[in-house]
Amino acid sequence: MGAAAPGEALAASETCTAPSTVAVDGYLRQTFLRLTAQRNPTNSRQTFVCFRAADGTAAVDRGGRILVTDAQVSPVLPRADSDGQACTTTAGNVFPGPRPLFGGQVGDPDEPPYAPVLIDAYLAPFQLWGCLQAGSIGARVLVNTSGISAPAVSVAQDAPGTPLPAATPGPLGYPSSSCQVAGGGRQANLSIHNAHIWAYRGNDPELTTQSLCLRVERAGQQPIGAKLTVDATGTPGITPVAQGSTVDTTPCSVTVVGVDSPIGVSLSRSPRGANPASICVTAGTTKQRITVGTAGSVDPPAVVLEKDPDSA
Protein backbone atom coordinates (compact mmCIF):
# COMPACT_ATOMS: atom_id res chain seq x y z
CA MET A 1 0.00 0.00 0.00
CA GLY A 2 2.88 2.39 0.68
CA ALA A 3 5.00 4.04 -2.01
CA ALA A 4 8.31 4.18 -0.16
CA ALA A 5 11.31 2.41 -1.63
CA PRO A 6 12.90 -0.47 0.29
CA GLY A 7 14.81 0.86 3.29
CA GLU A 8 13.03 4.24 3.26
CA ALA A 9 10.64 5.41 5.96
CA LEU A 10 6.98 5.51 5.01
CA ALA A 11 5.33 8.88 4.51
CA ALA A 12 2.77 9.75 7.21
CA SER A 13 -0.17 8.97 4.91
CA GLU A 14 1.29 5.52 4.19
CA THR A 15 1.54 4.35 7.81
CA CYS A 16 -1.94 2.78 7.74
CA THR A 17 -0.32 -0.36 6.34
CA ALA A 18 -3.12 -2.74 7.40
CA PRO A 19 -6.22 -0.55 7.64
CA SER A 20 -9.28 -1.97 9.36
CA THR A 21 -11.34 0.82 7.83
CA VAL A 22 -11.10 1.99 4.21
CA ALA A 23 -13.37 4.91 3.36
CA VAL A 24 -11.58 5.61 0.06
CA ASP A 25 -8.17 4.59 -1.28
CA GLY A 26 -7.10 4.85 -4.91
CA TYR A 27 -7.35 6.92 -8.06
CA LEU A 28 -10.17 8.98 -9.54
CA ARG A 29 -8.75 9.66 -13.00
CA GLN A 30 -5.27 11.11 -12.24
CA THR A 31 -5.96 12.12 -8.62
CA PHE A 32 -5.01 9.82 -5.74
CA LEU A 33 -7.42 9.92 -2.78
CA ARG A 34 -6.98 8.25 0.60
CA LEU A 35 -8.92 8.15 3.86
CA THR A 36 -8.21 5.03 5.93
CA ALA A 37 -7.80 4.10 9.60
CA GLN A 38 -6.29 1.45 11.83
CA ARG A 39 -5.17 0.86 15.41
CA ASN A 40 -1.52 1.58 16.12
CA PRO A 41 0.02 -1.94 16.10
CA THR A 42 2.36 -1.02 18.96
CA ASN A 43 -0.13 0.93 21.14
CA SER A 44 -3.78 -0.18 21.25
CA ARG A 45 -4.86 3.16 22.78
CA GLN A 46 -3.87 4.93 19.58
CA THR A 47 -5.59 5.08 16.21
CA PHE A 48 -4.09 6.23 12.90
CA VAL A 49 -6.26 8.12 10.41
CA CYS A 50 -4.37 8.45 7.10
CA PHE A 51 -5.42 10.97 4.46
CA ARG A 52 -4.16 12.16 1.10
CA ALA A 53 -5.16 14.05 -2.05
CA ALA A 54 -2.46 14.29 -4.74
CA ASP A 55 -2.26 14.41 -8.52
CA GLY A 56 1.48 14.80 -9.09
CA THR A 57 1.38 18.60 -9.10
CA ALA A 58 2.32 21.10 -6.41
CA ALA A 59 -1.24 22.48 -6.41
CA VAL A 60 -2.77 19.19 -5.21
CA ASP A 61 -0.25 17.61 -2.86
CA ARG A 62 -1.49 17.12 0.68
CA GLY A 63 -1.27 14.02 2.82
CA GLY A 64 -0.64 13.02 6.38
CA ARG A 65 -1.81 11.12 9.43
CA ILE A 66 -3.96 12.09 12.40
CA LEU A 67 -2.81 10.29 15.55
CA VAL A 68 -5.67 9.81 18.03
CA THR A 69 -4.67 8.90 21.59
CA ASP A 70 -7.41 7.68 23.91
CA ALA A 71 -7.33 7.46 27.71
CA GLN A 72 -7.94 3.72 27.44
CA VAL A 73 -8.56 1.14 24.73
CA SER A 74 -11.84 1.81 22.95
CA PRO A 75 -13.94 -1.34 22.44
CA VAL A 76 -15.12 -0.06 19.04
CA LEU A 77 -13.00 -0.09 15.88
CA PRO A 78 -13.19 2.86 13.47
CA ARG A 79 -15.98 2.76 10.90
CA ALA A 80 -16.73 4.57 7.65
CA ASP A 81 -19.64 6.22 5.90
CA SER A 82 -20.15 8.53 2.92
CA ASP A 83 -20.71 11.87 4.70
CA GLY A 84 -17.58 13.64 3.44
CA GLN A 85 -18.80 17.11 4.43
CA ALA A 86 -19.75 16.36 8.05
CA CYS A 87 -16.43 17.59 9.50
CA THR A 88 -17.00 21.00 7.94
CA THR A 89 -20.73 21.41 8.63
CA THR A 90 -21.08 19.95 12.15
CA ALA A 91 -21.02 22.43 15.07
CA GLY A 92 -18.81 22.04 18.14
CA ASN A 93 -15.56 21.20 16.36
CA VAL A 94 -12.49 21.63 18.62
CA PHE A 95 -9.92 20.09 16.27
CA PRO A 96 -6.65 22.01 16.85
CA GLY A 97 -4.83 23.97 14.19
CA PRO A 98 -5.87 25.32 10.80
CA ARG A 99 -8.80 23.75 9.00
CA PRO A 100 -9.65 22.35 6.55
CA LEU A 101 -6.60 20.16 6.20
CA PHE A 102 -6.81 20.70 2.42
CA GLY A 103 -9.15 22.43 0.03
CA GLY A 104 -8.78 22.84 -3.70
CA GLN A 105 -9.73 21.61 -7.14
CA VAL A 106 -8.75 18.37 -8.85
CA GLY A 107 -9.27 17.00 -12.31
CA ASP A 108 -7.89 16.83 -15.80
CA PRO A 109 -6.86 20.33 -16.97
CA ASP A 110 -7.83 19.34 -20.52
CA GLU A 111 -11.36 18.49 -19.47
CA PRO A 112 -12.74 21.14 -17.10
CA PRO A 113 -14.58 21.85 -14.92
CA TYR A 114 -12.42 20.61 -12.09
CA ALA A 115 -14.04 18.84 -9.15
CA PRO A 116 -13.71 20.41 -5.69
CA VAL A 117 -11.81 18.35 -3.13
CA LEU A 118 -11.90 18.87 0.64
CA ILE A 119 -10.08 17.07 3.47
CA ASP A 120 -11.14 18.05 6.98
CA ALA A 121 -11.29 16.76 10.56
CA TYR A 122 -13.74 17.00 13.45
CA LEU A 123 -12.97 16.61 17.16
CA ALA A 124 -15.43 16.49 20.06
CA PRO A 125 -15.95 14.43 23.21
CA PHE A 126 -16.00 10.72 22.49
CA GLN A 127 -15.04 11.08 18.82
CA LEU A 128 -12.65 12.07 16.05
CA TRP A 129 -13.74 12.15 12.41
CA GLY A 130 -11.71 12.41 9.24
CA CYS A 131 -13.57 13.56 6.11
CA LEU A 132 -12.85 13.65 2.38
CA GLN A 133 -15.10 15.00 -0.36
CA ALA A 134 -14.01 14.85 -4.02
CA GLY A 135 -16.74 15.75 -6.48
CA SER A 136 -19.56 13.27 -5.94
CA ILE A 137 -17.42 10.96 -3.77
CA GLY A 138 -17.87 11.47 -0.04
CA ALA A 139 -16.01 9.55 2.66
CA ARG A 140 -15.79 9.80 6.45
CA VAL A 141 -13.88 7.77 9.03
CA LEU A 142 -15.35 7.81 12.56
CA VAL A 143 -13.13 7.00 15.56
CA ASN A 144 -15.12 6.49 18.76
CA THR A 145 -13.18 7.02 21.97
CA SER A 146 -13.82 6.05 25.58
CA GLY A 147 -13.24 9.27 27.54
CA ILE A 148 -15.79 11.97 28.32
CA SER A 149 -13.39 14.60 27.02
CA ALA A 150 -12.04 14.91 23.49
CA PRO A 151 -9.10 12.57 22.81
CA ALA A 152 -5.59 13.91 22.27
CA VAL A 153 -4.76 14.38 18.58
CA SER A 154 -1.74 15.35 16.53
CA VAL A 155 -1.15 15.67 12.79
CA ALA A 156 1.93 14.56 10.85
CA GLN A 157 2.25 15.82 7.27
CA ASP A 158 3.75 14.15 4.22
CA ALA A 159 6.80 15.81 2.68
CA PRO A 160 6.00 17.75 -0.52
CA GLY A 161 6.38 15.61 -3.62
CA THR A 162 5.81 12.27 -1.90
CA PRO A 163 5.63 9.72 -4.75
CA LEU A 164 2.24 8.48 -5.83
CA PRO A 165 1.57 4.76 -5.28
CA ALA A 166 1.03 2.32 -8.11
CA ALA A 167 -2.55 1.67 -9.18
CA THR A 168 -4.04 -1.68 -8.14
CA PRO A 169 -3.98 -4.19 -11.02
CA GLY A 170 -7.15 -5.98 -12.02
CA PRO A 171 -7.40 -9.79 -12.34
CA LEU A 172 -4.83 -11.04 -14.82
CA GLY A 173 -6.22 -12.17 -18.14
CA TYR A 174 -9.77 -10.89 -17.61
CA PRO A 175 -11.48 -8.81 -20.33
CA SER A 176 -12.15 -6.00 -17.83
CA SER A 177 -8.41 -5.77 -17.06
CA SER A 178 -7.26 -5.53 -20.66
CA CYS A 179 -7.74 -1.75 -20.94
CA GLN A 180 -5.52 -1.16 -17.89
CA VAL A 181 -2.89 -3.66 -19.07
CA ALA A 182 -2.74 -1.90 -22.46
CA GLY A 183 -2.02 1.43 -20.76
CA GLY A 184 -5.42 2.94 -21.43
CA GLY A 185 -6.89 6.04 -19.83
CA ARG A 186 -7.90 5.59 -16.19
CA GLN A 187 -11.34 6.77 -15.13
CA ALA A 188 -11.25 5.16 -11.67
CA ASN A 189 -9.21 2.59 -9.76
CA LEU A 190 -10.11 2.84 -6.11
CA SER A 191 -11.42 1.09 -3.04
CA ILE A 192 -14.43 2.82 -1.54
CA HIS A 193 -16.03 1.37 1.59
CA ASN A 194 -16.40 -2.37 0.84
CA ALA A 195 -15.86 -2.24 -2.92
CA HIS A 196 -13.07 -1.84 -5.45
CA ILE A 197 -13.78 -0.22 -8.81
CA TRP A 198 -11.72 -0.36 -12.00
CA ALA A 199 -12.88 1.79 -14.94
CA TYR A 200 -10.57 2.35 -17.93
CA ARG A 201 -10.62 3.42 -21.54
CA GLY A 202 -8.71 1.09 -23.83
CA ASN A 203 -5.51 1.87 -25.67
CA ASP A 204 -6.53 0.24 -28.94
CA PRO A 205 -3.85 0.19 -31.65
CA GLU A 206 -6.42 0.19 -34.48
CA LEU A 207 -8.07 3.55 -35.12
CA THR A 208 -11.29 1.79 -36.10
CA THR A 209 -11.78 0.09 -32.69
CA GLN A 210 -12.07 1.60 -29.21
CA SER A 211 -12.84 -0.09 -25.90
CA LEU A 212 -14.06 0.66 -22.39
CA CYS A 213 -13.60 -1.64 -19.37
CA LEU A 214 -15.29 -1.83 -15.97
CA ARG A 215 -15.01 -4.16 -12.98
CA VAL A 216 -16.50 -3.92 -9.48
CA GLU A 217 -15.65 -6.26 -6.60
CA ARG A 218 -17.78 -5.99 -3.44
CA ALA A 219 -17.36 -7.92 -0.20
CA GLY A 220 -19.67 -10.93 -0.06
CA GLN A 221 -21.10 -10.38 -3.56
CA GLN A 222 -20.42 -11.73 -7.02
CA PRO A 223 -18.14 -9.41 -9.04
CA ILE A 224 -19.26 -7.64 -12.18
CA GLY A 225 -16.82 -7.05 -15.00
CA ALA A 226 -16.85 -6.56 -18.75
CA LYS A 227 -15.21 -4.96 -21.78
CA LEU A 228 -17.17 -3.15 -24.48
CA THR A 229 -15.60 -2.53 -27.88
CA VAL A 230 -17.07 -0.39 -30.64
CA ASP A 231 -15.80 -1.52 -34.03
CA ALA A 232 -16.06 0.73 -37.08
CA THR A 233 -14.17 -1.61 -39.41
CA GLY A 234 -17.34 -2.09 -41.44
CA THR A 235 -17.97 1.66 -41.80
CA PRO A 236 -15.24 2.88 -44.18
CA GLY A 237 -13.82 6.32 -43.48
CA ILE A 238 -15.25 6.50 -39.95
CA THR A 239 -13.11 6.72 -36.80
CA PRO A 240 -14.42 6.35 -33.22
CA VAL A 241 -14.42 9.63 -31.30
CA ALA A 242 -13.76 9.61 -27.55
CA GLN A 243 -15.46 12.30 -25.49
CA GLY A 244 -14.42 13.20 -21.97
CA SER A 245 -15.45 13.26 -18.36
CA THR A 246 -18.22 15.88 -18.45
CA VAL A 247 -19.90 14.62 -21.62
CA ASP A 248 -23.55 13.65 -21.93
CA THR A 249 -23.91 9.84 -21.74
CA THR A 250 -27.62 9.67 -22.58
CA PRO A 251 -26.95 7.92 -25.95
CA CYS A 252 -25.84 4.91 -23.87
CA SER A 253 -29.32 3.88 -22.74
CA VAL A 254 -28.62 0.15 -22.37
CA THR A 255 -26.71 -0.81 -19.18
CA VAL A 256 -24.44 -3.82 -19.66
CA VAL A 257 -23.12 -4.04 -16.08
CA GLY A 258 -23.43 -1.61 -13.18
CA VAL A 259 -24.07 -1.02 -9.49
CA ASP A 260 -25.56 1.88 -7.54
CA SER A 261 -23.58 1.47 -4.30
CA PRO A 262 -21.19 2.61 -2.85
CA ILE A 263 -21.17 4.97 -5.85
CA GLY A 264 -22.96 4.66 -9.16
CA VAL A 265 -20.79 2.91 -11.77
CA SER A 266 -21.86 1.45 -15.08
CA LEU A 267 -20.74 0.20 -18.47
CA SER A 268 -23.41 0.93 -21.07
CA ARG A 269 -24.09 1.15 -24.79
CA SER A 270 -26.54 2.54 -27.30
CA PRO A 271 -29.37 0.24 -28.48
CA ARG A 272 -28.49 -2.48 -30.96
CA GLY A 273 -28.37 -1.20 -34.51
CA ALA A 274 -28.01 2.44 -33.42
CA ASN A 275 -26.36 4.66 -35.99
CA PRO A 276 -24.17 6.31 -34.70
CA ALA A 277 -23.20 3.86 -31.95
CA SER A 278 -21.90 4.79 -28.50
CA ILE A 279 -20.33 3.02 -25.52
CA CYS A 280 -19.97 4.70 -22.11
CA VAL A 281 -18.34 4.14 -18.73
CA THR A 282 -19.39 6.09 -15.63
CA ALA A 283 -17.89 6.20 -12.13
CA GLY A 284 -19.63 8.79 -9.97
CA THR A 285 -19.49 12.04 -11.93
CA THR A 286 -16.54 10.85 -14.04
CA LYS A 287 -17.75 9.85 -17.49
CA GLN A 288 -16.29 8.66 -20.77
CA ARG A 289 -18.17 8.17 -24.01
CA ILE A 290 -16.91 6.79 -27.32
CA THR A 291 -19.14 7.49 -30.31
CA VAL A 292 -18.86 6.26 -33.88
CA GLY A 293 -20.62 8.32 -36.54
CA THR A 294 -21.74 6.82 -39.84
CA ALA A 295 -21.54 9.60 -42.42
CA GLY A 296 -21.07 8.01 -45.84
CA SER A 297 -22.21 4.57 -44.73
CA VAL A 298 -25.52 2.94 -43.91
CA ASP A 299 -23.98 0.06 -41.94
CA PRO A 300 -24.16 0.51 -38.15
CA PRO A 301 -20.90 0.03 -36.23
CA ALA A 302 -20.55 -3.22 -34.30
CA VAL A 303 -20.53 -3.22 -30.48
CA VAL A 304 -18.87 -6.29 -28.93
CA LEU A 305 -19.32 -7.36 -25.29
CA GLU A 306 -16.82 -9.56 -23.44
CA LYS A 307 -17.74 -10.46 -19.84
CA ASP A 308 -15.34 -11.59 -17.12
CA PRO A 309 -15.63 -15.33 -16.40
CA ASP A 310 -16.76 -14.67 -12.80
CA SER A 311 -19.09 -11.76 -13.59
CA ALA A 312 -22.72 -11.65 -12.63
**If pLDDT is split at 50, 70 and 90, which confidence band does 110 have?**
low
- What angle is formed at CA 256 by the lines to CA 208 and CA 286, rounded to 5 degrees? 75
Interatomic CA distance for residues 85 and 105, integer angstroms: 15
Name the residue with higher pLDDT: 310 or 283.
310
pLDDT at 307 over 90: yes
Q: Is the pLDDT of residue 229 over 50?
A: yes
Residue 13 and residue 10: Cα distance in Å, rounded?
A: 8
Q: What's the confidence (pLDDT) of residue 248?
A: 84
Distance CA(118)–CA(101), nearest Å, equals 8
Q: What is the mean pLDDT of residues 222-242?
A: 81
Residue 158 zone, left/alpha/beta (φ > 0; ψ -120 to 50; rest): beta
Does residue 298 or residue 195 have the better pLDDT? 195
Could you report the per-residue pLDDT of 41-87, keeping only the tens digit for each? 999 999 999 999 999 989 899 999 999 998 888 778 899 999 999 99
Lowest average pLDDT, out of 5-9, 62-66, 276-280, goes to 5-9
3-class SS at 87? helix
pTM of the predicted model as reported, rounded to 2 decimal places? 0.89
What local confidence, expressed as pLDDT, does residue 1 receive?
Answer: 47
pLDDT digits (tens, 9 = 90+) for 183-219: 998 989 999 988 999 999 998 777 778 899 999 999 8
Task: Give me the mean pLDDT over the 266-288 stretch.
Answer: 85
Q: What average pLDDT does this structure show over 235-251?
A: 72
Length of the chain: 312
